[in-house]
Amino acid sequence: MSDPDRAPLWDAAFGARPDRDLPGDRATPGDAWLAAVALGGRGYYAAAAARLRVLINGSDPVLAALAAAALASHRRQLGGHAAARALDAAGLHRLAAAGVLGARGIDRDHPDIAGPAGMDAKAARSDVLLGLAADAVGLGRTAEARSLLATESASPDAGWRAEIRRGWVAAEIELGAGRIESALAPARAAAAAAGRSTSVRHRTKSALVLGATLAAAGERAQAREMITGALADAIASGLRPLVWPCAIVRADLAPESAAADRALAAETLHCVLRHSDPGVRLLAAASPWVPTWLFAAAPIR
């Protein structure tokens, strides 16, 4: 980072300390985005949304797209793929309307909007396109997801986050299409790329994706080891949006701890929903991706 004062925020959002105390509010929109990403990573969705909506409606198209993609990811993590799709599409529209994008990605006729690594137009374009692909997977639109992934992958280098997220989305596409063996390579590639990063959150999510893929492939012992490690890391770092899905997957892999894992999943999801706005709670309750027993175990109050 060129701004040393931003380093703590970056560390909380994309680094080794997702649980670190966030500095007080600062004036720059970039700081607001980093703070919102960090808050969302901990499951404080309402607090994150308050910051992200300001950026989405702001004058900077790149930060608007980054913010829209972040807010979309929070919806998607709770099964709200249709709501996430609208946000990702709005982010892509902001980039296109600003003349940042052309038919083949970053328009060569327009200079890229300058910004710190991971906060530029290439990163924003990648975020919204990969978000749209993930939304399509959740909505059962496999062909559309493949097309969006191919479009994003043909872009100029969008940075380390894009490399990791491509693996996640590619694995999800193959799993959604029932091509389990084909999902293993991108899931492993994402885990390897995440291992080269400093981001605890990305490493944990990559372990979750790979563990779930291994489980689907029948590699239960490897899957259990991977998921157990991811769950421990998620708990230690306060990454609640990763705790509850890790606990659900492990409950299917470890019968002896299944009851405790399901109780942990329900308790953690309940905590996340309590820190979300009412609309998000309704999305989760209505989503086919969120098991209904979670609400019976810990109803939203």
Q: How far apart are CA 70 and CA 144, in angstroms?
A: 21
- The closest alpha carbon to 30, from 46, 19, 14, 41, belongs to 14
CATH of the domain at 103: 1.25.40
Cα separations in angstroms, 188 against 27, 166, 185, 258, 298: 39, 11, 5, 26, 34
Q: Are residues 153 and 192 in the same domain?
A: no
Q: Which domain holds residue 42?
A: 27-161
Q: How far apart are CA 162 and CA 68, in angstroms?
A: 16
- Give residue 291's pLDDT: 87
If one counts the domains in the chain, the total is: 2
Q: Are residues 230 and 108 in the same domain?
A: no
Q: Which of 98, 129, 161 is the last residue of a domain?
A: 161
% of the chain surpassing 90 pLDDT: 75
The pLDDT of 37-56, averaged and rounded, is 96
Give a yes or no: residue 174 inside a domain.
no
Residue 271 CB-half CA count within 13 A:
17
- Give residue 102's pLDDT: 59
Q: Are residues 200 and 156 in the same domain?
A: no
Q: Are residues 209 and 90 in the same domain?
A: no
Q: Which amino acid is at 141?
A: R
Which tens digits make up the pLDDT trace of 66-98? 999 999 999 999 999 999 999 999 999 999 998
Which tens digits make up the pLDDT trace of 207-241? 999 999 999 999 999 999 999 999 999 999 999 99
- Give residue 121's pLDDT: 87
Please provide residue 101's backbone torsions phi and psi, each rounded to the nearest 5 degrees: -110, 145
Q: Are 241 and 44 in contact (CB under 8 A)?
A: no
Give a yes or no: residue 167 inside a domain.
no
Q: How far apart are CA 142 and CA 130, in angstroms?
A: 13
Residue 6 confidence (pLDDT) above 90: no
Q: Are residues 192 and 107 in the same domain?
A: no
Q: Which of 127, 161, 195 is the last residue of a domain?
A: 161
Give a yes or no: residue 168 inside a domain.
no
Q: Are 128 and 65 in contact (CB under 8 A)?
A: yes
